[in-house]
Structure 1
Amino acid sequence: MREITFSQATLEAMKEEMQRDDTIFVMGEDIARQGGIFGQFKGLPDDFGTDRIIDTPISETAIIGSAIGAALAGMRPVADMHFADFMGITMDEVFNQMAKIRYMFGGQTKIPMVIRAPDGLIRSGAAQHSQSIEAWFNNIPGIKVVAPSNPSDAKGLLKAAIRSDDPIIYFENKDLYRQSGPVSEEEELLVEIGKAKVARAGTDVTIVSYSVMMNNALEAAEILEKEGYSVEVIDLITLSPFDEKTVIESVKKTHRLLIAHEAVKKGGLGGEVAAVVAEEAIDYLDAPIIRVGAKFTPVPFSPTLEEAYRPKTHEIVDGIRSMFI
């Protein structure tokens, strides 16, 4: 099986889906002229023209609003946010329009659109270009939120999101763009939305993670294996609605749970996962649930301070060790 980067995998997904369905188009800032700020749309204007790869003014509100209108009219728009941080200005369109229209119209219409949202730390991106904001959207009924952790899932999940009749926010961590991994050449590579994956089986403790922190979770599992701990690692993939069944079944087996994400710990998705497990499986727990996340502060510009802000593998390892004391 060939290896390609995360960015190349998403590009393949876009090409294959746009070839398959001519109602799919992309809109965003600098995607036709520049191929996207991270190169994730490179070459698409040559293949599909600038009527389907559309450069927009610097207005996230206009991008999302236009995408909603196009979806209502029968198209399948993909709206690129440049940086996920800029989605704050789109909250009315996302909260009150995109997420609600299908419900308010009694299911008579649908909103088949995808918002691509590059998120997470990037060297010295600082306070306005480095945030992980997925937890904002997990509290909104009517949308789905996904976040792949590797090139194969990046491709299959984007293809599945584009084909979905529901609005989906597709978070793609900027640190993952250059990460390589095996990806099947099968065109029908699809990842089921709403289903988590057991990335590593174990019996002593469960780590639940997603996106870029899956690298840390798997690294921690390797370290702990050498110390005699059998660690199960679950990749959520879909954050809303997350796969409660897979998580609870794992905790009932291992009796311990640690949740790790790059987003700030306070108010992060880890709190929701912990609450669900406490409600559904508290009698199975042999140790307190532990969360690992970023510090509750704006992302610093200084590389040294940024590194101090970033959640680390050793925090996962130390947290799990503490469960067995």
Structure 2
Amino acid sequence: MKRTMVEAIRDGLDVAMGKNDDVVVFGEDVGYFGGVFRCTQGLQQKYGSHRCFDTPISELGIVGVAIGMAAYGLRPCVEVQFADYVYPAYDQLVSEAARMRYRSNGDFTAPLVVRMPTGGGIFGGQTHSQSPEALFTHVAGLKTVVPSNPYDAKGLLIAAIEEDDPVIFLEPKRLYNGPFDGHHERPVTPWSKHDLGEVPDGHYSIPLGKAAIRRTGSAVTVLAYGTMVHVAEAAVKETGVDAEIIDLRSLLPLDLDTIVASVKKTGRCVIVHEATLTSGFGAELAALVQEHCFYHLEAPIERVTGWDTPYPHAQEWDYFPGPQRVGRTLTAVLEA
């Protein structure tokens, strides 16, 4: 069936809740209202207010309660309304959820998922547009996932809910309601069903830690995730560069084998992400490529990212890496 990412996420939650009575969904406005982006629409009506319910406006409370439920044996999948709102709950994630298995010597685990809309593109300003993935990939014990399409969103979400350790599930807002061609503006007309992602009915899962090669190529490897996969595809189409595009899908665990095999084949690597440059996840990727592929590299590793500034609302579309900026970098790497 053709589905948007919102529909795919909703279907994934539905499948997980139908399969396992221990799966509970809660957060701000996720019950009766169905979530600010409608990812949980209809779940309370189907499963009751004891399994899909609203909470006070307290991210600290939402995540804290989820950790307690997970330690007790439930599988909570909670929504933080925007990734920008997670900071009050960060201590709970770092000090409790991530360490539960280790500090209890395996007696307790924290099988919980924290879903968060991430990134810009909806003119949400500085407090609704951040990309904080590097804050989570730095924390031992957390797993971090970023889907780029509806099929992956459902499969990865089901896998995350079935995982026995805490998973941060970041959902790019620009991809929520239809396909994205990598450019700035979307059409104003509604999405037609033939433009949407093919998402099977029923249960399926995608293993965490397995990347997808979206395009094979021999000239340069492009590492991207989330929205930037589509930007990279647009840049390659416009420049004609024979690039291999790898959609990481899961940042931790990371599919290092696929990355290394690709870079050893192409000899060049460009990393694209929406978050700021300094200490972004691209820095970790660059270090890993350098360590494992040094003698195969024919040019410096390049990163195309957001600016090192607070999120610039008025210059939102200039802040994002776009096809032209990525394309210039691809061309420069080939000429190096």
TM (norm. structure 1) is 0.96
Q: Distance in 2 between matches of 1:115 and 1:230?
A: 37
Is the Cα contact below 8 Å between 2:3 and 2:197 reproduced in 1? yes
**2:2 partner amino acid:** E
Structure 1, gaps ≥5 residues long: none
Which residue matches 1:317? 327
Partner of 2:102: 103
Matches within 5 A, 1:3-22: 3-22=2-21
Match of 2:270 in 1: 258
Q: Which residue of 1 aligns with 2:249?
A: 237
1:211 and 2:226 correspond: yes
CA contact (8 A) 1:151 1:179 kept: no
CA distance 1:127–1:182, shift in 2 (3 Å): closer
Unaligned runs of 5+ in 2: 180-195
SS state of the match for residue 106, structure 2? Answer: coil
What residue in structure 2 maps to residue 291 of structure 1? Answer: 303
Distance 1:89 1:54 in 2: 21
CA shift digits 1:118-145 (9 cap, x unpaired):
1100432111110000011111111100
List aligned pairs for 1:87-166, cutoff 5 A: 87-166=86-165
Q: Which residue of structure 1 lines up, in the alignment, with residue 192 of structure 2?
A: none
- Amino acid aligned to 1:306: E
Indicate the percent of aligned positions where both proteins have the same amino acid: 39
1:175 maps to which residue? 174
Q: Secondary structure at the match of 1:323?
A: helix
Tell me how far apart the structure 2 counterparts of residues 276 and 219 of structure 1 sit (CA, whole Å): 26
Question: Is the Cα–Cα contact under 8 Å of residues 116 and 170 in structure 2 kept in the other structure?
Answer: yes
8 Å Cα contact 2:268-2:300 kept in structure 1: yes
**What SS does the aligned partner of 2:50 have?**
coil
Deviation string 1:263-315 (CA, Å, 9 cap, x unpaired) is 1122111110000011111111101111011011111232xx11121211111
1:22-60 deviation digits (Å, cap 9, x = unpaired): 100111001113110101111111101111111000000
User: 1: CA distance between counterparts of 2:171 and 2:197?
Assistant: 18
Say which SS state the counterpart of residue 311 (structure 1) adopts.
Answer: coil
Q: Distance in 2 between matches of 1:314 and 1:222?
A: 11
Checking the alignment, whether the CA contact within 8 Å between 1:146 and 1:237 is kept in structure 2 is yes
Distance 1:224 1:206 in 2: 15
SS of equivalent residue, structure 1 residue 252: helix
- Cα distance in 2 for partners of 1:18, 1:277 equals 39
- Distance across 1 between alignment mates of 2:227 and 2:242: 22
CA RMSD, Structure 1 to Structure 2 (Å): 1.1
> Does the CA-based 8 Å contact 1:124-1:300 persist in structure 2?
no
Secondary structure in 1 matching 2:29: coil
Moved over 4 A (4+): none
TM-score (norm 2): 0.93
Once the two structures are superposed, what CA deviation does each residue of 1:135-175 show, in whole Å capped at 9, x if it has no partner? Answer: 11111111100000000000000011001111100000111
Write the distance in 1 (CA, Å) between the matches of 2:311 and 2:211.
29
Retained in 2: the 8 A contact 1:29–1:58?
Answer: yes
What is the identity, as a one-letter code, of the residue corresponding to 1:322? A
Equivalent residue runs for 1:76-91 within 5 Å: 76-91=75-90
The question of whether the paired residues in 2 share the 8 Å contact of 1:150 and 1:179 is answered with: no
Aligned partners of 1:104 and 1:82: how far apart in 2?
29
